[in-house]
Structure 1
Amino acid sequence: MSPALLPKPAARTEGPEDDVQLSLRDHLIELRKRLKWAVIWLLLGFGASYYWSQQIFHFMMQPVFAALPEGEKALHFASSVEPFIIYLKVGLYAGLFVASPFIFWQIWLFVAPGLYRRERKKIAPFVLAATLFFVGGAAFCYLVILPPAFQFLINTAGPDIKPVLMMDEQLGLV
């Protein structure tokens, strides 16, 4: 047979670097391992954050306190368990924030083996930009948006009406 009539070899398609074929069971085992580590990091972040949850809550409420008139800088609660629940929520939110780099790392360790090298290189600038935009947006909101927003919202009622601000509602706004 002449070389022109021979079938051409199939073009090799580029695959992920560590192209190991895993069964569904193996993928689920790997996912369970990554989820376990993500939960461990979340619990560690929660434990550390809960210890300082009162200070974190006070820091988060600074824009609210700044908008209140002098002598009335206090938040109220409606039930005996509300402060405890609020501090649990603050600990959980702050713990998630603190643990998020480690949680995202676990997600990356699960996803990365299935990506091509060029895809991996494209993700790094996206992750960096997303992180900077998230931190910048949170700082912008806390420093620029919240102070005048709370000032406006509290002063809308007028001088004869005194606000009774509840802890849970204010945490939800911040």
Structure 2
Amino acid sequence: MSDTPSQPDDELKGSEQPFVAHLIELRDRLIWAVAAVAVAAAALAIYPGPGNLYDILAAPLVVHLPKGATLIATSVISPFMVPLKILLMSAFLIALPVVLYQVWAFVAPGLYSHEKKLVMPLVVSSTVLFFIGVAFCYFFVFGQVFSFIQSFAPKSITAAPDIEAYLSFVLSMFLAFGLAFEVPVAVVVLARMGVVSIQKLKDFRGYFVVLAFVIAAVVTPPDVVSQLALAIPMCLLYELGIWAAQVFIKHTQAPDEASSAS
């Protein structure tokens, strides 16, 4: 009789598929994702329309422009291309849950149960946090930043920002705040992969505060309002990430890790 302990059956055994079958499934998933974006774009094109979408995006700036001032287009095709870019960007964001579901449905069959517990919460939480960061930037930060900037503008200057420059500024700010709000996800991933321990994350608090203010100074306009609006949430989210990492590690252990820990 062998003394070697029996190994548990591999839960993925028998789930293998031919390479061609994977390609066909990938094609179908891509088609569904593109179709979702196309449907969202068609709906937005009908209502509220590309022009109105740009008006919504420009509203935080327009409110703080001098009376009678408007945004301008310095390129011939800008009045067409800029609203179209915003339409496609908005359509992708609206369809993002469907796109992420297609990605998840494609990779999930190849994951163990403990890996599914790890991946799905990260996908959902990272998406939600990114949207929260963008919303925070649009509804709070923009109003404070534009008000602060206009308060320094000389009365002899009439502000008339270019629509392409404004779109570039908005996208960079959305990206900065969206990624900054991913701090808890980054902390959880680093802790779960064993790159750093929870104790080291706690010890790094003071350094992270300095790092957050340095990042805010680099990626935001040179005003105190936007820098504080980015740095302070990053510090709070870092603390949230430490707490979430402790909970996450406890509930996403592999069977062998859980048995060795007990």
Q: TM-score, normalised by structure 1?
A: 0.84
Contact 2:73–2:162 (8 Å) recurs in 1: yes
- The answer to whether residue 87 in structure 2 is matched with residue 82 in structure 1 is no
Contact 2:72–2:161 (8 Å) recurs in 1: yes
Give 2:125's aligned residue: 129
Give 2:53's aligned residue: 56
3-state DSSP of counterpart to 1:67: coil
> For residue 41 of structure 1, what is the amino acid of its counterpart?
A
Give 1:41's aligned residue: 36
3-state DSSP of counterpart to 1:95: helix
The 1-side partners of 2:168 and 2:45 are apart by: 18
> CA 1:153–1:19 in 2, change beyond 3 Å: closer, same or farther?
farther
3-state DSSP of counterpart to 1:112: helix
Contact 1:50–1:87 (8 Å) recurs in 2: no
Stretches of structure 1 lacking an aligned partner (at least 5 in a row): none
User: What's the CA shift for 1:127?
Assistant: 3.4
User: What's the CA shift for 1:171?
Assistant: 1.5
Give 1:92's aligned residue: 88
Higher relative helix content: 2
> CA 1:155–1:167 in 2, change beyond 3 Å: closer, same or farther?
same
Contact 2:40–2:91 (8 Å) recurs in 1: yes
Give 1:163's aligned residue: 159
Bigger RCO (CA 8 Å, 6+ sep): 1
Greater C-alpha radius of gyration: 1
The 2-side partners of 1:146 and 1:13 are apart by: 55
User: What's the CA shift for 1:49?
Assistant: 2.0
Q: 2:63 aligns with which of 61, 66, 73?
A: 66
Contact 1:54–1:87 (8 Å) recurs in 2: yes
Once the two structures are superposed, what CA deviation does each residue of 1:98-154 show, in whole Å capped at 9, x if it has no partner? 111111111111011111122223334333422332222112111221112223334
> For residue 109 of structure 2, what is the amino acid of its counterpart?
P
3-state DSSP of counterpart to 2:63: helix
The 1-side partners of 2:128 and 2:91 are apart by: 19
Give 1:24's aligned residue: 19
Contact 2:104–2:120 (8 Å) recurs in 1: no
Number of residue pairs matched by the alignment: 168
What percent identity do the matched residue pairs reach? Answer: 31
Structure 1, 162-171 or 115-124: larger mean CA deviation:
115-124
Q: TM-score, normalised by structure 2?
A: 0.58
3-state DSSP of counterpart to 1:92: helix
3-state DSSP of counterpart to 1:15: coil
> CA 1:24–1:7 in 2, change beyond 3 Å: closer, same or farther?
farther
The 1-side partners of 2:32 and 2:72 are apart by: 38
